Amino acid sequence: MAEIIIMPKLGFNMDEGQLVKWHRRVGETVKKGEVLFEINTDKTTMPVEATADGTVLQLMLEEGAFAEVFTPIAVIGAPGEDPNAVLNGPATPQAAPAAPAEPAGYDYDVVVIGAGPGGYETAIKAAQCGKKTCIIEGAGFGGTCLNVGCTPTKALIQTADVYHKVKDAARFAVTGVEADKIAVDMAALQARKKAVVKTLVNGVKGLLRGNKVTVVEGMASFADTHTLSVDGRSITGANIIIATGSSVFMPPFIALGGENHLLTSTEALDLDQVPASVTVIGGGVIGVEFAYLLNRLGSKVTVLELMDHILPMVDPEVSALAQKRLEKGGVTFRLGAKVSRVENNRVYYEYNGAQEQLEAGAVLMAVGRTPNTEGLNAQGIGLEFDRNAIKTDLCLRTNVPNIYAIGDVNGKAMLAHTASHEGMVAVANICGRHEEMHYDRIPSCIYLEPEIACIGLTEPQARENYGDNLKIGRFSMMANGKSLVEGDTDGLFKVIVAGDTGEILGVHLYGQHVTDMIGEVSAAMTAEATAEELIGSIHPHPTVNEALGEAFMAAWNGKAINSL
């Protein structure tokens, strides 16, 4: 059957495109994957490949002309087929639906519940798209991330890193520093952390005001699918976006007894003195970052992890290197440890078939987070759940058409930048522009020394999906000049690409400043760039970043330039 070719939407803000050149004329054949035409977006010229084999039956847009996205511009099919038959019937692919008409009588076009990174950015985007928008927040503007998560954690880690750099000054030819007299003033550190948080929280409030988003403080609960009750006040919305985040998960399978100095990530951020020893339960991102932080500040740290490796989202080869570095710094790991109870600061666990116990000055529970839905009455209005998270599709819609859920509350990927992007996708769909999330392109960052950043599949996952059709490249930081200059050559850049096409499947970086580099790979994957195209991109010298090109050379060409 003939297929309609449409003007593609190649960017979130793309509304129209200009046809630059047809690579096939009427009557000529084209194969799937061959370039059919080129278009100008607002940023660049892009080749567009044919999505199926066929003969060009009709061209409907002249070179140099403009067309709105999703507008039919050509038809391909079998020789002799009538293009009008498909043009007059249902289009394939379907054109994007028009923006739904919003029922009159609601207070707002969009109401967002929760002002964390996902919520406040979503509210601003909705307002910028011309929607009358309200945001409701009952705890703290900026959510977990700004108040008791990402930002304050990194503020503490920054001080811990500076502390160690100053102590290590002699290695960089800086004299006169008495390393044994260097110390961290915990009260001053807490004051600095609070100042950073306050600045950012005030910034969020200012951004909301500046974008004319109505702010309501209080706890929201659904009265019906269009009505929220906030401290006795009713607020109605044509569309409602739930962005209520998550809370620390306290596992019911770990019994608690006696008197414990039990910490979660929230309390650990407010320590006014560093415990002499800490047992961390959980070897995921939160547990490992706090193990690193507390160890750097002087605690004797032991991590108990149920799995056989730490940092499960990171390629095992890279996470093993990070574990080795942490162990070198003094952190002890017990992998495969099954914790059963905590009593009087003593943790009881099974390890290698034997019952063990470990006493510490404090116990940090870091086994994950759980979506915040309590008090929402979400189930009361018929929202479907996937275990304890609100169920959504790739457009972030729930089973109730006008209600969306973004961020930790949908349980898909508990990261602040995921929540923010989900919000952009939700707003696009509210405005009638079909957008979907791509959860295989979400970067993760882990703030250690050196840092870890990763995106896509690990090697075991790639082998499970692609078998032996893989090319894997590695580049050691020992061969990177900037890493040598900075005095830290521990680290590895590892890339995983499809063996036949060079499609980027996974990238795992362990080195200095890599959390500031992973965005390049995210952009490349979104643009469907290949390993060859990354190799052809110029990386500046001297930088740690240039090792990325080397790793892709090692994968695609079989050998990097600066390694033997």
**DSSP classification of residue 543:** -
Euclidean distance between CA atoms 50 and 65, whole angstroms: 20
Query: In the block, which residue shows the tokens 């840092």?
Result: 451
Tokens of 296: 């750097």
Distance CA 286, CA 303 (A): 11
Angle value at C-alpha 264, between 262 and 265, nearest 5 degrees? 145
Q: Return the axis-axis angle of helices 316-329 and 459-466, rounded to nearest 10°.
A: 170
Smallest Cα–Cα separation from 157: which of 119, 116, 189, 121? 189
To 5 degrees, how large is the angle CA 533–CA 530–CA 322?
Answer: 100
Report d(CA 227, CA 107) in Å as an integer: 9
Cα-to-chain-centroid distance, residue 94:
30
Could you tell me which residues come within 8 angstroms of residue 209 by beta carbon, excluding any fewer than 6 positions away? 215
Unique residue bearing structure tokens 């919520």? 119
* Dist. CA 68–CA 8, nearest whole Å: 9
3-state secondary structure of 532: helix
Other C-beta atoms within 10 Å of 21: how many? 12
Strand partners, 21: 38
- Dist. CA 63–CA 515, nearest whole Å: 42
Count each helix (H run) and each strand (E run) in the chain, helices first: 14, 33
3-state secondary structure of 184: coil
**How many other C-beta atoms are found inside a 10 Å radius of the C-beta of residue 147?**
20
Buried-exposed string 388-421: b where 16+ CB fall within 10 A, e elsewhere: ebbbbeebbbbebebbbbbbbbbbbbbbbbbbbb
The DSSP result for 185-232, as a single string, is -HHHHHHHHHHHHHHHHHHHHHHHHHTT-EEEES-EEEEETTEEEETT
Q: How far apart are CA 413 and CA 392, in angstroms?
A: 12
| 541 tagged catalytic | yes
Contact 228, 377 (CB under 8 A): no
The answer to whether the CB of 74 falls within 8 A of the CB of 45 is no
What six digits make up the tokens of 291? 């193990």
User: Which one is catalytic: 164, 261, 513, 541?
Assistant: 541
Our CA dihedral for 545, 546, 548, 552, rounded to 10 degrees, sits at: 170
The owner of tokens 């110390």 is 183
What DSSP assignment string belongs to 61-76?
S-TT-EEETT-EEEEE
User: Amino acid letter at 250?
Assistant: M
Angle between the N-to-C axes of helices 117-128 and 186-210, in degrees from 0 to 180, rounded to the nearest 10: 20
Determine how β-strand 362-365 pairs with β-strand 354-359.
unpaired
Which residues does the annotation mark as catalytic? 541
